[in-house]
Amino acid sequence: MNLVSMAAAVTVVEPELKWVSLWLRSRWAAVLAVVLAALLVVLLPVLLVEEQCQAALQGWAFLRSKLGLGYMGIATYTGQTTELSVTSGGLELMVLKPKVSPEVRLEAKAALHQALEMKRQGKREKAQKLFLHALKMDPDYVDALTEFGLFSEEEKDIIQADYLYSKALTISPHNEKALVSRDRTLPLVEEIDQRYFSIIDSKVRKVLSIPKGNSALRRVMEESYYHHIYHTVAIEGNTLTLAEIRHIIETRYAVPGKSLEEQNEVIGMHAAMKYVNTTLVSRIGSVTLPDLLEIHRRVLGYVDPIEAGRFRTTQVFVGHHVPPHPRDVEKQMLEFVQWINSEDAMSLHPVEFAALAHYKLVYIHPFVDGNGRTSRLLMNLILMQAGYPPITIRKEQRAEYYNALEVANEGDVRPFIRLIAKCTETTLDMLLFATTEHSVGLPEAQDGSSTDCKQTISLKTRT
């Protein structure tokens, strides 16, 4: 081929090469656009990762709760006033539920309308059942909460009414009817709460007037030591009986045929209670982070010596509640200890202080296991440092106890404080009764279902 023919060929091919080049450039531009779009999809949500992870954790926690693996709610303590309140009149403390379907919401709305009609007709018993049904269908139904609160006020149940208004405001903070109603009930509830504290204080003074050498007092404290261990481990699911627990502590021999882990839980509680009594009770107004770690080291040391006395390094789930991320645990615990030793905390009523300390610690959930037992020991430590007897939350109160913790997670910690106050009063009543002329001692622990919720005191110095 000569130069002329080659030039002609190049002239013919050159436009084709230009089109090929243009096609290749377009194709690369399209590929680049796809890559950039993919990078945007990956990178843009980075700012929202924390929220997405939290949502995922809460979804998983909800699934666990449906399988019966937990107890607490998902909202945080909002720092509301902590005067006591408790529901009554057959209304259970309601916790936040998953979003209801439109059909269920319509049924709740219809039930509310029927309840208001029954109320108008004077059929108050039917109205109450319909209010409860509406809230069972949709626990977050603000109108139903507010209207049932008004109904409860008319029934002279101020505490229940205040609880309902508080819950409505947790869901809808600017609801005018709930705000006006809460302003009306809150002062009344605070007065009721303070009166209850005064009753407790008067009973404490009576108990303190009992001579320390009183044989009945010594006997009841001896018995109550074992009762406390029995109930505090039974709340967590331990199946050992009161007699078996006494045998383990007194002989240090295992009970044949029973779980060694459950028996080691008992030994751990015994060790932790001795530590609290002999080392910490006398140090009034001073609880340190090492103290809490030492309590936990004894509580869990015989079951899981690796995790005992150290903060968790993994994320845990407690029902609906997703505790703080492991990297935040130490910081929150330092803030918690600072609060415990603050003037603000120590200026609270001892029962309120102890209940809040219990709740705050179990909310942080700083340990892999043993959080509840450690929190209850801290609660009793605070009570004893203030001159109160330690209390026992009985296993028969387990559902009420966990339910009150859920409500506290929604933002209203007062029902939990009221539960602790009730346990305190029952303990005081038991002590006063046991030291009278006709004392019969503590009620025996029931290993089956029981309706007897009389309290026992919990700790005894043992050497």
Q: How many CA atoms lie within 13 A of 113 on its CB side?
A: 6
In whole angstroms, give the CA distance from residue 161 to residue 182.
8
Q: Are residues 125 and 227 in the same domain?
A: no
Q: Are residues 118 and 229 in the same domain?
A: no
* pLDDT exceeds cutoff 60 at 446: no
The answer to whether the annotation marks 319 as part of a ligand binding site is: yes
Q: Are residues 150 and 277 in the same domain?
A: no
Q: CATH number, domain at 104?
A: 1.25.40.10
- More confident call, 79 vs 394: 394
- More confident call, 12 vs 286: 286
In whole angstroms, give the CA distance from residue 280 to residue 282.
6
Q: What's the domain range around 246?
A: 209-437
* pLDDT exceeds cutoff 80 at 449: no
Catalytic residue, candidates 231, 296, 349, 365? 365
DSSP 408-449: HHHT--HHHHHHHHHHHHHHHHHHHHHTSTT---PPPPPSS-
Is 71 inside any structural domain?
no
DSSP 44-81: GGGGGHHHHHHHHHHHHHHHHHHTT-----SSPP----
pLDDT digits (tens, 9 = 90+) for 338-367: 999 999 999 999 999 999 999 999 999 999
SS3 content of the chain, % helix, strand, coil (to 5): 65, 0, 35
| pLDDT at residue number 237 | 94
Q: Which of 107-121, 317-331, 342-356, 375-389 is predicted least confidently?
A: 317-331
In whole angstroms, give the CA distance from residue 23 to residue 30.
11
Please state the φ and ψ torsions of residue 199, each to the nearest 5 degrees. Answer: -65, -45
Q: Which of 64, 56, 80 is nearest to 325 (CA)?
A: 56
The answer to whether the annotation marks 387 as part of a ligand binding site is: no
In whole angstroms, give the CA distance from residue 185 to residue 383.
29
* Long-range contact set of residues 432-440: C-beta below 8 Å, sequence gap at least 24: 432/203, 432/206, 432/207, 434/216, 434/217, 434/219, 434/220, 435/210, 435/214, 435/216, 435/217, 435/220, 439/216, 439/220
* pLDDT exceeds cutoff 60 at 463: no
Model confidence at 283, pLDDT cuts 50, 70, 90, reads confident
190, 221, 242 - which closes a domain: 190
Q: Which of 17-26, 59-68, 181-190, 252-261 is predicted least confidently?
A: 59-68
Distances (CA, A) of 181 to 82, 148, 402: 18, 11, 28
| pLDDT at residue number 450 | 39
Residues β-bridged to residue 321: 318
Q: Which of 183-197, 297-311, 430-444 is predicted least confidently?
A: 430-444
Cβ pair 330, 292 in contact under 8 A: no
Q: Are residues 219 and 352 in the same domain?
A: yes
The answer to whether the annotation marks 402 as part of a ligand binding site is: yes
Distances (CA, A) of 136 to 91, 132, 141, 146, 262: 10, 6, 10, 15, 37
Cβ pair 148, 135 in contact under 8 A: yes
Is 463 inside any structural domain?
no
Is 70 inside any structural domain?
no
Residue 365 is a catalytic residue: yes
Looking at residues 98-108, what average pLDDT do you find?
A: 88
- More confident call, 10 vs 295: 295
Q: Which of 179-183, 261-265, 299-303, 451-455 is predicted least confidently?
A: 451-455
The answer to whether the annotation marks 325 as part of a ligand binding site is: no
Is 401 inside any structural domain?
yes
* pLDDT exceeds cutoff 80 at 99: no
Q: Are residues 239 and 165 in the same domain?
A: no
Cβ pair 303, 369 in contact under 8 A: yes
- The residue written with tokens 């009620």 in the block is 443
Q: Are residues 309 and 369 in the same domain?
A: yes
Q: Are residues 281 and 422 in the same domain?
A: yes
The answer to whether the annotation marks 214 as part of a ligand binding site is: no
Give me 437's structure tokens. Answer: 């002329």
Please state the φ and ψ torsions of residue 332, each to the nearest 5 degrees. Answer: -70, -35
In whole angstroms, give the CA distance from residue 366 to residue 205.
36
| pLDDT at residue number 222 | 87
Q: Which of 281-295, 305-319, 385-399, 436-450 is predicted least confidently?
A: 436-450
pLDDT digits (tens, 9 = 90+) for 265-277: 999 999 999 999 9
The answer to whether the annotation marks 141 as part of a ligand binding site is: no
Q: Are residues 216 and 184 in the same domain?
A: no
SS3 state of residue 321 = strand
DSSP 88-146: -TTPPPP---PPPPHHHHHHHHHHHHHHHHHHHTT-HHHHHHHHHHHHHH-TT-HHHHH
* pLDDT exceeds cutoff 80 at 42: no
The answer to whether the annotation marks 124 as part of a ligand binding site is: no
Is 38 inside any structural domain?
no
Model confidence at 44, pLDDT cuts 50, 70, 90, reads very low
In whole angstroms, give the CA distance from residue 83 to residue 348.
10
Cβ pair 316, 327 in contact under 8 A: no
> Where are the strands (E) in 243-395, listed by range?
none
Contacting residues for 34 by C-beta, under 8 A, at least 6 apart? none
Amino acid identity of 71?
Y
Q: CATH number, domain at 387?
A: 1.10.3290.10
pLDDT digits (tens, 9 = 90+) for 194-240: 999 999 999 999 999 998 888 888 888 889 999 999 999 999 999 99
| pLDDT at residue number 460 | 35
The answer to whether the annotation marks 376 as part of a ligand binding site is: yes
Q: Are residues 280 and 175 in the same domain?
A: no
| pLDDT at residue number 100 | 84
Is 282 inside any structural domain?
yes
Residue 175 zone, left/alpha/beta (φ > 0; ψ -120 to 50; rest): beta
Q: Which of 23-32, 106-115, 250-259, 438-447 is predicted least confidently?
A: 438-447
The answer to whether the annotation marks 209 as part of a ligand binding site is: no
| pLDDT at residue number 34 | 63
The length of the chain in residues reads: 463
Amino acid identity of 297?
R
- The residue written with tokens 């770690």 in the block is 293
Query: Mutual orientation of helices 289-300 and 326-340 as an angle, nearest 10°?
Result: 120
Is 8 inside any structural domain?
no
Q: Are residues 156 and 267 in the same domain?
A: no
The answer to whether the annotation marks 401 as part of a ligand binding site is: yes
190, 221, 254 - which closes a domain: 190
pLDDT > 90 fraction of the chain, expressed in percent and rounded:
65
Mean pLDDT value across the chain: 81
| pLDDT at residue number 280 | 95
SS3 state of residue 318 = strand
Helices (H) and strands (E) in the chain, counts: 17, 0
* pLDDT exceeds cutoff 80 at 124: yes
Looking at residues 241-249, what average pLDDT do you find?
A: 96
Looking at residues 235-259, what average pLDDT do you find?
A: 95
- The residue written with tokens 């990762």 in the block is 49
Model confidence at 30, pLDDT cuts 50, 70, 90, reads low
Q: Are residues 216 and 175 in the same domain?
A: no
| pLDDT at residue number 212 | 82
Domain count of the fold of the chain: 2
Looking at residues 246-266, what average pLDDT do you find?
A: 95
Is 84 inside any structural domain?
no
* pLDDT exceeds cutoff 60 at 320: yes
Residues β-bridged to residue 318: 321
Q: Are residues 233 and 361 in the same domain?
A: yes
pLDDT digits (tens, 9 = 90+) for 49-64: 344 444 444 444 443 4
Looking at residues 24-45, what average pLDDT do you find?
A: 58
